[in-house]
């Protein structure tokens, strides 16, 4: 089944067809770095991390761009208020760029903990001022913008398609419904492309209209098109930013270049606390660093993937507690399999296991192909984990002859499925668990001790025919018993069956 995704622009589930296959350009609105990332950021960036991972899993060559907003994002998310970075920097009595550097670094550290892959390009708004001035000039030349006392506004009335993403008609947008009306605007929905810097404003640059700084919406248009082209495949972001931020991006980009902007729009739903949106402005947010003090970051990843990216997630510690149980069960299954694998003999995988693996992959891909359905994909992996545990228990508690019938490759096939689907796509399963090294050594040691104890007991009871059989079977696997009056020891060697010096046990004590 081809990949289908829900396009917020058309409000329809569409088959994904990239503009220039196998290349896929993806842009996701990044954080405004004036404070630590919170649970809402985790939901957004984990969701789009899986989108990028799955596209790459399907063989696409993805260029993933996610910006860093370090200037121009005002406190009302539109054209009014203070710059969020400058406001926080003033409280901390440090330079705004120093604050931005601090929280950019902390943001990436938090994302690393959540196994969110780094973007291919992380452009900063402050590093693209010339391009933003150039786009503003182009819009002025084409009659889609006007200047008022050093501030440049986009004229929404000049662009008939304005509102096509949000389905909001200009004549239905009452003054003050979303943005505070300014007397210098021609229409209340007009938005700033370039803002005049007020006295004392630190982050400002020279422009043809005087000293100022870019508008928040303009920044994303410039950075996405600089690295992905005038028209690109996927634009992602939070649902709360669909209007006015994404609506304004579309208007200014298409008005400037006369070409479609992003072809597919993906919006992840928000995180709520008691049904209310989580956010810094509301003061009800939980930072990732605080959450990490109580829960493994991968548990947070698990709880987010248990839902759909377009569905809201109501945050609670009870929800994370349940996810902790589920995550632990899945990881322990993988770890148990990896401990068991080195103890098994070589051979082709069983037909039963091959069928289980094929069923799992089919269910997983069907769910992911349906608008990145991570909950269904996880369900397929948990079912495989249940079957893997049953097979493992059968081997661990079986007789030596029946245990050897389950070849190492059967469990390796299961492990590879977890690595590919649970690791490469969902980012939940690690390639290596350092703690397993000790567990594997301990497991091997207990097996060795059990074999030696059993051999000594056979010899004590003079059950020499059974001890001969034990020696023969062990020697086939490079395991050599050394017998002495004080008891037996065991060695592991690639030389194969025991040499003549070991002899036969019959009649010997």
The answer to whether residues 280 and 334 belong to one domain is no
On whether residue 446 sits in a domain, the answer given is no
Residue 253: domain span? 4-313
CA dihedral 343, 345, 348, 352 (to 10 degrees): -50
Let me know whether 154 and 98 are in one domain. yes
Task: Say whether both 426 and 462 belong to one domain.
Answer: no
Stated as kind and residue range, the H or E segment containing 416 is: helix 408-417
Give the domain-ending residue among 279, 313, 347. 313
One domain for residues 307 and 176: yes
Asked if residue 202 and residue 172 are part of one domain, the reply reads yes
Which CATH number does the domain housing residue 43 bear?
A: 3.40.50.620
Q: What average pLDDT does the segment 267-282 reach? A: 84
Do the Cβ atoms of 371 and 47 come closer than 8 Å? no
Q: Given the structure tokens 């490759």, which residue do they identify?
A: 409
* CA atoms of 412 and 229, how far apart (whole Å): 43
5-14 long-range contacts (CB < 8 A, ≥24 apart) are 5/264, 5/266, 5/371, 5/372, 6/266, 6/310, 6/371, 7/264, 7/265, 7/266, 8/165, 8/242, 8/265, 8/266, 8/267, 9/164, 9/165, 9/262, 9/264, 9/265, 13/370, 13/371, 14/264
pLDDT classification of 397: cutoffs 50, 70, 90:
confident
Same domain, 242 and 369: no
Specify which residues 24 forms β-bridges with: 62
Average pLDDT over residues 350-379: 96
Q: Is 411 part of a structural domain of the chain?
A: yes
pLDDT confidence tier of residue 347, bands split at 50, 70 and 90: confident
Helices then strands, counting H and E runs in the chain, come out as: 15, 15
Concatenate the DSSP letters of all residues of 327-381 into one string. HHHHHHHHHHHHHHGGGSPP-PPPHHHHHHHHHHHHHHHHHHHBT--HHHHHHHH
Whether 64 is covered by a domain: the verdict is yes
The model's confidence at residue 173, banded by pLDDT at 50, 70 and 90, is low
- pLDDT 10s digits, 105-145: 999 999 999 999 999 999 999 999 999 999 999 999 999 99
CATH number (domain holding residue 390): 1.20.120
385, 333 Cβ separation under 8 angstroms: yes
Are 302 and 323 in contact, with CB atoms under 8 Å apart?
yes
Q: Are residues 374 and 300 in the same domain?
A: no
pTM of the model as a whole: 0.84
Q: Which pLDDT tens digit goes with each residue over 41-94?
A: 999 999 999 999 999 999 999 999 999 999 999 988 888 889 999 999 999 999
Q: pLDDT category, 360, cuts 50, 70, 90?
A: very high
Q: For residue 273, what pLDDT is reported?
A: 86
Average pLDDT, rounded, for the chain: 88
Q: Are residues 242 and 347 in the same domain?
A: no
497 falls within a domain: no
Q: Could you give phi then psi for residue 503, rounded to 5 degrees? A: 65, -160
The candidate with the shortest Cα–Cα distance to 100, out of 200, 30, 191, is: 30
Could you tell me if 364 and 459 lie in one domain? no
Task: Judge contact between 288 and 174, C-beta under 8 A.
Answer: no
Closest by alpha carbon to 24, among 46, 57, 1, 47? 57
Cβ–Cβ < 8 Å for 63, 23 = yes
Q: Final residue of a domain: which of 433, 465, 481? A: 433
Cα 252 to Cα 217, 241, 323, 340, 440, distances in angstroms: 9, 16, 42, 59, 59
SS3 content of the chain, % helix, strand, coil (to 5): 50, 15, 35
Q: Is 498 a member of any domain?
A: no
Query: Is 443 a domain residue?
Result: no
Last-in-domain residue among 313, 337, 360 = 313
Q: Cα(250)–Cα(397) distance, rounded to whole angstroms? A: 63
* Confidence category of residue 349, pLDDT binned at 50, 70, 90: confident
Does residue 505 sit within a domain?
no
One domain for residues 368 and 428: yes
Element spanning 262, H or E: strand 262-268
Q: What is the pLDDT of residue 447?
A: 59
Q: Encode pLDDT of 497-508 as tens digits.
A: 333 334 444 444
- At residue 295, the pLDDT reads 96
- Same domain flag for 427 and 459: no
290 shares its domain with 359: no
Number of domains present in the structure of the chain: 3
Residue 345 lies in a domain: yes
pLDDT level of residue 459 (50, 70, 90 thresholds) = low
């Amino acid at each position: 089944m081809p990949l289908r995704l829900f396009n917020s622009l058309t409000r329809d589930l569409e088959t994904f067809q990239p503009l220039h296959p196998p290349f896929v350009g993806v842009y996701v609105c990044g954080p405004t770095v004036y404070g630590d990332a919170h649970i809402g950021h985790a939901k957004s960036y984990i969701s789009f991390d899986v989108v990028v991972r799955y596209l790459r899993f399907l063989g696409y060559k993805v260029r993933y761009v996610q910006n860093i907003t370090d200037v121009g994002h005002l406190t009302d998310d539109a054209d009014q208020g203070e710059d969020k970075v400058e406001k926080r920097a003033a409280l901390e009595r440090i330079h705004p760029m120093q604050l931005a550097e601090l929280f950019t670094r902390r943001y990436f550290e938090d994302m690393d903990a959540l196994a969110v892959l780094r973007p291919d390009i992380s452009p900063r708004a402050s590093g693209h001022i010339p391009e933003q001035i150039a786009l503003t000039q182009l819009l002025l030349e084409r009659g889609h913008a006007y200047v008022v006392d050093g501030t440049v506004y986009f004229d929404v009335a000049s662009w008939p398609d304005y509102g096509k993403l949000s389905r909001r008609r200009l004549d239905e947008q009452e003054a003050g419904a979303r943005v505070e009306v300014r007397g210098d605007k021609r229409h209340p929905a007009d938005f700033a492309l370039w803002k005049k810097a007020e006295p004392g404003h630190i982050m400002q640059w020279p422009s043809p209209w005087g000293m100022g700084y870019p508008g928040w919406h303009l920044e994303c248009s410039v950075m996405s098109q600089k690295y992905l082209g005038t028209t690109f495949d996927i634009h992602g972001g939070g649902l709360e930013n669909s209007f006015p931020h994404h609506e304004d991006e579309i208007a200014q980009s298409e008005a400037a270049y006369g070409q479609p902007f992003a072809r597919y729009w993906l919006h992840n739903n928000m995180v709520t606390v008691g049904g209310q949106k989580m956010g810094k402005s509301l003061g009800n947010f939980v930072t990732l660093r605080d959450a990490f003090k109580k829960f493994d970051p991968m548990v947070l990843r698990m709880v987010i993937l248990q839902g759909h990216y377009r569905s809201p997630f109501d945050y609670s510690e009870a929800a994370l507690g349940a996810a902790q149980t589920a995550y632990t069960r899945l990881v322990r299954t993988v770890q148990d399999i990896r401990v068991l694998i080195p103890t098994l003999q070589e051979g082709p995988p069983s037909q039963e296991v091959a069928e289980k693996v094929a069923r799992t992959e089919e269910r997983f891909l069907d769910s992911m192909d349906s608008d990145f359905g991570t909950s269904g994909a996880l369900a397929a992996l948990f079912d495989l984990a249940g079957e893997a545990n049953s097979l493992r228990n059968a081997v661990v508690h079986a007789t030596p002859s029946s245990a050897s019938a389950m070849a190492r490759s059967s469990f390796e096939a299961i492990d590879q499925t977890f690595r590919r689907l649970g690791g490469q796509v969902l980012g939940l399963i690690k390639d290596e668990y350092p703690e397993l090294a000790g567990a594997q050594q301990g497991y091997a040691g207990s097996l060795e001790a059990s074999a030696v104890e059993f051999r000594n007991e056979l010899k004590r009871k003079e059950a020499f025919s059974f001890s001969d059989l034990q020696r023969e079977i062990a020697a086939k696997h490079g395991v050599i018993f050394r017998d002495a009056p004080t008891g037996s020891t065991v060695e592991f060697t690639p030389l194969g069956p025991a040499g003549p010096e070991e002899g036969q046990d019959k009649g010997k004590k």
